[in-house]
Structure 1
Amino acid sequence: MSQNTDLLLLTPGPTPIQPDALQALLIPMVGHMDPAVFALNARIQANLKVLYGAAADAFTALVAGTGSLGMETGFANLIEPGDTVVVATNGSFGDRMVEMCERYGAKVIVVRAPIGEAVRLEDVEKALKEHQPKMVSVVHGETSTGVLNPAPEIARMAQDMGILVTVDAVTTAGMMPYEMEKWGIDYAYTGSQKCLSAPPGVAPVAVSARAMEVVRNRKTPVTLWYSDFLGLQAYWDHRDYHHTIPVQLHYSLDAALSAALNEGLDVRARHAAELSVAVARTLETIGFSHFVKNPRERLPSVLSLRLPEGMNDLQVRTALREKGISITGGLDATRGLIWRLGLMGEAARTEHYMRFMRTLDEILGHRHLESTLEQNLTAVHA
């Protein structure tokens, strides 16, 4: 069976695998209780605290699943039947939070913003004061629409009120500075295949000491045995057997995480922001426009653009795929209306978007997109 080994992923995930992470997959198999693996895990835990800006006493680990398991793990541990939870949502992944909370028996208060707009702080504040929930949850960067939500401000507000805070960091942690302790976040998670550019299959999580205490004082057992924080902590911190971890994925994530921290989160954030602006300006010359109208609410790592009038979404994306470039369209209400271009990890490289513009020129019969991008990058950088 033939495969296109030169396929360039410019999607909102997965991203191209970081070279060191790819090489790490070739490390020979080691047992999950081997001293070398425990040393590996300890290094991952320390680096995750740096990634998230977590407190020294926070618990960090990898959950053996994708980012959606990272999301569910927090709710499984921190929610008991009858708890009140406020979920601020403006897209598919915020709605997923709502569904998960309901499945774990919570009374869910939904604070909703229109698609393409950030959730409003005053609406969240009103819900918190009126309902006094146990927890508030929000997606920092809503992948489905390219909106950046005011997660730091929501977290600070909730912390002052003694409310637990869960934040989805799937498209933010690793591409911009993240201050879990400073902002007052109790639980954060991402997916290995997003900003860190490792293979999918593990979800890096960080849990505050306050959240761990909530788990210890539960009245009912954690429903999801596999991801019980106390069981995971017994393995990660105390080296007790819990379940068989995907060792090679741990090695790969370790390599990708180290590469991201060595490059510098501030450097990665600045580069993604500049590239996002330059790509948008370039595509605006052929009729694309920002889906997220407020510039302050645009997520740099997922550029969401409305298609030009008359462009056939599927036809053009299929043509790009046939020429070795994969991009993603809209979800649900935005299907066929927008493109979502990933600028996370290894995808956020200038040479990749030069190739994208050159290929799009070929498909649409233009001759200026590549040179225009180069000019816009120079202007934005200056």
Structure 2
Amino acid sequence: MPLDAYPEHILLTPGPTPIHPRAMHAMTRPMLGHMDPEVFALNREIQDDLRVMYGAEPEGFTALLAGTGSLGMEAGFANLVEEGDEVLVCANGSFGRRMAEMAARYGARVRLVTAPLGEAIRPEDVAAQLAHGGDIRMVAVVHGETSTGVLNPVPEIAELVRGTGALLTVDAVTTAGMEPFHMAEWGVDYAYTGAQKCLSAPPGVAPVAISERALARYAARRTPTPLWYCDFEGLRDYWTRHTYHHTVPVNLHFAFHAALQAALEEGMEARQRRVQQVGEAIVSALKPLGFSPYVRRPEDRLPTVLALRLPEGFDDAGVRQALRKREISVTGGLGPTAGVIWRLGLMGEAARPGPYRALMTALEDILGERGLVGRFDESLDGVLV
């Protein structure tokens, strides 16, 4: 089937996000070999741009892993955790719990700092665990918990970790590339995201940034990294020394490069503003129907994944199915929040008025309600996003 025969689908999920047009175009270029000089030159630009996006050290090591964000998560534990290491994991949702599971699989003795669903990790709870004793080798936290729409206080947690000797790993999957991220300033040692989230590139590469402290910890390992595919030394063989390690997905590199450059040209502050503006317009439009923010405290709400509690009696599955027939995808809750919330993605190209105006139009028809589009547009009146 030719490309122009496919209907345009409106993707409003917490990932993947709509592909940026420049990334789509970049994927169509002819294939080059992964050891081609042009690819190495492209990779150097990607590394430089990732340092800017993450706010990393000027000479910090950055790279793309050939996999999605979960590979970024696993690579950190595989390289930086050894059997018997104490790891403190902040878990207030599905992806914090995934961190804990991965750390345990690599032999860590995991301690948890938890918070109820819909609430952020409390820095004082982290401080209490750090003061409890033991040799904590790593603290791991999800910056934006995709499963509940919660923003965890990474700068405050980083301040507590600084000076303890522990490394700080941050899941930046729903923040980096859409919100300002200050890796070096905060003291983050390992950060990762997925190409298909805030940057609106195709899934399949995971951008990582690794501090000098983390590389020193890696170099002092007692045993080899058990995950050969993403061994930090093997990554540096390819990305720094330009020797063969494994075949990278070249066209995904070109697409990612195009999307990342588009994001940096727009600027993180500008992207942050449009997320806020579109999010406020969505809430204004849906509030009279009984939708309300799932996360109680405004400062704990993750801007890029808008979690809305559904009105009482709302037919979650039926409405989402009706939307899907209109080529619009939205995502419900995960696990305990299934049937309780919607999670609307406001990352990359999804954080635009057009896709959400289409959602409001469709909901007016499905629910027999009027005024959603008007309230949405009124909230954005005079705003350029």
Maintained 8 Å contact 1:57/1:208: no
Provide the TM-score with structure 1 as the length reference.
0.98
Partner of 1:39: 41
Cα distance in structure 1, aligned partners of 2:167 and 2:382: 43
Cα distance in structure 1, aligned partners of 2:153 and 2:237: 34
Partner of 2:272: 269
The one-letter amino acid of 1:54's match is: A
Cα distance in structure 1, aligned partners of 2:277 and 2:62: 31
How do 1:17-166 residues align onto structure 2 when only pairs under 5 Å count?
17-130=19-132, 131-166=134-169
Cα distance in structure 2, aligned partners of 1:362 and 1:259: 35
Cα distance in structure 2, aligned partners of 1:262 and 1:303: 25
Cα distance in structure 1, aligned partners of 2:200 and 2:323: 22
Alignment of 1:180 with 2:183, yes or no, is yes
1:338 corresponds to which of 341, 344, 352:
341
How do 1:163-242 residues align onto structure 2 when only pairs under 5 Å count?
163-242=166-245
Unaligned 5+ residue runs, structure 2?
A: none
Indicate the SS of the match to 1:162.
Answer: coil
Cα distance in structure 1, aligned partners of 2:184 and 2:250: 29
- Give, in angstroms, the shift of residue 281 of structure 1: 2.1
- Give, in angstroms, the shift of residue 124 of structure 1: 0.6
Partner of 2:315: 312
Provide the TM-score with structure 2 as the length reference.
0.97
- Give, in angstroms, the shift of residue 172 of structure 1: 0.1
Cα distance in structure 1, aligned partners of 2:267 and 2:382: 23
1:300 corresponds to which of 285, 298, 303:
303
Deviations 1:178-224 (A, max 9, x none): 00000000000000000000000000000001101111110010000
Aligned residues, how many?
A: 381
Of residues 274-283 and 183-192 in structure 1, the stretch that sits farther from structure 2 once superposed is 274-283
Cα distance in structure 1, aligned partners of 2:162 and 2:247: 36
Partner of 1:248: 251
Alignment of 1:291 with 2:271, yes or no, is no
- Give, in angstroms, the shift of residue 338 of structure 1: 0.4
Cα distance in structure 2, aligned partners of 1:89 and 1:14: 23
Indicate the SS of the match to 2:98.
Answer: helix
Alignment of 1:326 with 2:325, yes or no, is no
Cα distance in structure 2, aligned partners of 1:375 and 1:265: 25
Maintained 8 Å contact 1:136/1:166: yes
Cα distance in structure 1, aligned partners of 2:160 and 2:95: 22
Indicate the SS of the match to 1:145.
Answer: coil
- Give, in angstroms, the shift of residue 152 of structure 1: 1.4
Cα distance in structure 1, aligned partners of 2:293 and 2:201: 29
Deviations 1:215-261 (A, max 9, x none): 11100100000000111011101101100000000000000000000
Indicate the SS of the match to 1:134.
Answer: strand
Instruction: State percent identity of aligned pairs.
Output: 58
Deviations 1:269-306 (A, max 9, x none): 01101211221122111011111000000000000001
Unaligned 5+ residue runs, structure 1?
A: none
Indicate the SS of the match to 2:140.
Answer: strand
- Give, in angstroms, the shift of residue 4 of structure 1: 4.8
Cα distance in structure 1, aligned partners of 2:7 and 2:193: 27
Cα distance in structure 2, aligned partners of 1:166 and 1:238: 25
Cα distance in structure 1, aligned partners of 2:354 and 2:58: 38
Maintained 8 Å contact 1:4/1:324: no
Q: RMSD of aligned C-alpha atoms? A: 1.3
- Structure 1 runs (4+) greater than 4 angstroms displaced: 1-4
Deviations 1:308-360 (A, max 9, x none): 01111000000001011100000000011100000000000011111111111
Maintained 8 Å contact 1:328/1:339: yes
Partner of 2:380: 377
- Give, in angstroms, the shift of residue 379 of structure 1: 8.6
Maintained 8 Å contact 1:138/1:166: yes
